[in-house]
Structure 1
Amino acid sequence: MKEKSIIADLQQKIALYEDMNAYRALYELLNERLFWFVYSFVKSREAAEEIVSDVFIKLWTIRNELPSIANLQVYLYVIAKNFSKNYIIREYKYPHVCLDEIPLDATTSVNPEELYISAEMAGRINHAIRELPPQCRLIFQMAREHGLKHQEVADILGISRITVRNQLTIAARKIAQSVYPHLQPAAAKQQSRC
């Protein structure tokens, strides 16, 4: 039995019979993948575990609506992405840092100008990614940031592998167009120092 039909079967059992065994089986099937998907956004094991738990709690609370969901796996990924985004926004507004997590390396000297340029460039790249059309951005994040193969992305989103490849090409082109004008002044500075 293909995974998609297994998920559909579990979805039906959860929706119609409130079957806890089906719920557990779905959790076992998707938990690890959702964890790594969320972790790639939040960069914290504890937060990723909590968010994935929240995703499955949300699934249980909306179990009566499950028959209307065409692709449950994609639906759960979207919930996970939204919960991750909300977590990141909360962390940005109210950051907390554990001093034990800050690396201390006295032997590394950081050039403030290079640090500023790399932070600025990272900001430009992130801005370019945020400006991508929604599906293009999701495909880019799943493939590039989360390391999913093109076929895996296609299967999750229910689209063809060629569409994934085309969307990644569009994303790369748009990001390059957004970042390229800012690279030339930095390259000129580097050459003038030599």
Structure 2
Amino acid sequence: MLDHLDQLTVISGLQMRIALYEDMKAYKQLYELLSDGLYRFSYSMVRSAEVAEEIVSDVFIKLWQMRARLSEIDNLRVYLYTIARNCSLNYLERNADSRVIGLENLDSGAFAEGANPADLCISADLANQMRRIVQQLPPQCRLIFQLVREEGLRYKEVAAILDVSPYTVRNQLAIAIQKLGEASLLKGILFKGVAEK
């Protein structure tokens, strides 16, 4: 898997190819690179595989429709996650029974299912214990943990996607790490690199 800087470089190159040359191959590569993460992100909010797939499709349709303006976007990955967030929240609002929907009310538990097994070199028992603890975190805290740890997003990117401050991201992530640490999980393995973001 690409590290953060390499991924941003690849995304930027694909972004320019799409913007300048309407390159369908670059569009397909961008889809392959980002669709799984966008799907997990949307699914964690809408809790429907079919709806999450539709949202990801809508995100990429919107991307293609605005391809001439892509060069104006500084961080395309954040931009696409923000579109996915808005589409997911719009879906929830349209399908709610007069409930107020906000990020703090979302159940993002399914996000933990998308963890990369190569990153977690621990036994199945510890992985299950970690998933249970992550499930018990407050929704916003859980979502932030999963975006940073499992999707590899930076604090500023998560802040932009969720429309919160980077300090909120940092604080919520600290809460998640503290809760997991209290459960005596292998801090060195699980949180390697998280504090560096």
Same fold per superposition (TM over 0.5): yes
Q: Which amino acid aligns with 1:26?
A: L
Question: How many Å separate the matches in 1 of 2:11 and 2:140?
Answer: 22
State the TM-score, normalized to the length of structure 2: 0.56
Q: Equivalent of 2:73, from 69, 72, 75?
A: 69
Q: Which runs of 5+ in 2 are unaligned?
A: 106-138, 160-165, 177-197
The answer as to whether partners of 2:104 and 2:140 remain within 8 angstroms in 1 is no
Any idea what the Cα deviations from partners look like across 1:134-178, whole Å, max 9, x if unmatched? xxxx9746324x46418823167188xx95763316989xxxxxx
Structure 1 consecutive aligned stretches of length 4 or more whose deviation exceeds 6 Å: 169-172
Give, in angstroms, the shift of residue 86 of structure 1: 0.6
Q: Equivalent of 2:14, from 10, 15, 33?
A: 10
Q: Equivalent of 2:27, from 23, 29, 35?
A: 23
**Structure number with larger C-alpha Rg:** 1
Secondary structure of 1:152 counterpart: coil
Q: Which amino acid aligns with 2:81?
A: Y
Question: How many Å separate the matches in 2 of 1:127 and 1:24?
Answer: 32
Query: Is 1:54 paired with 2:29?
Result: no
Query: Is 1:143 paired with 2:118?
Result: no
Q: Spell out the pairing of 1:91-102 with structure 2 (5 A cutoff).
A: 91-93=95-97
State the TM-score, normalized to the length of structure 1: 0.57
Cα distance change on mapping 1:128 and 1:55 into 2, 3 Å: closer
Query: Is 1:42 paired with 2:17?
Result: no
RMSD: 3.6
Secondary structure of 2:143 counterpart: helix
Cα distance change on mapping 1:18 and 1:169 into 2, 3 Å: closer
Question: How many Å separate the matches in 2 of 1:128 and 1:51?
Answer: 17
Q: Equivalent of 2:104, from 113, 122, 129?
A: 129
Aligned match of 1:181: none
Identity of aligned residues (%): 41
Question: How many Å separate the matches in 1 of 2:103 and 2:13?
Answer: 39
Secondary structure of 1:149 counterpart: helix
Corresponding pairs, count: 133
Q: Which runs of 5+ in 1 are unaligned?
A: 95-122, 131-137, 173-194
Give, in angstroms, the shift of residue 91 of structure 1: 1.1
Question: How many Å separate the matches in 2 of 1:63 and 1:158?
Answer: 24
Give, in angstroms, the shift of residue 16 of structure 1: 0.3
Secondary structure of 1:74 counterpart: helix
Any idea what the Cα deviations from partners look like across 1:23-80, whole Å, max 9, x if unmatched? 0000000011100000000000000000000000000001111111000000000000
Q: Spell out the pairing of 1:177-192 with structure 2 (5 A cutoff).
A: none
Q: Which has the higher helix share?
A: 1
Cα distance change on mapping 1:171 and 1:149 into 2, 3 Å: same
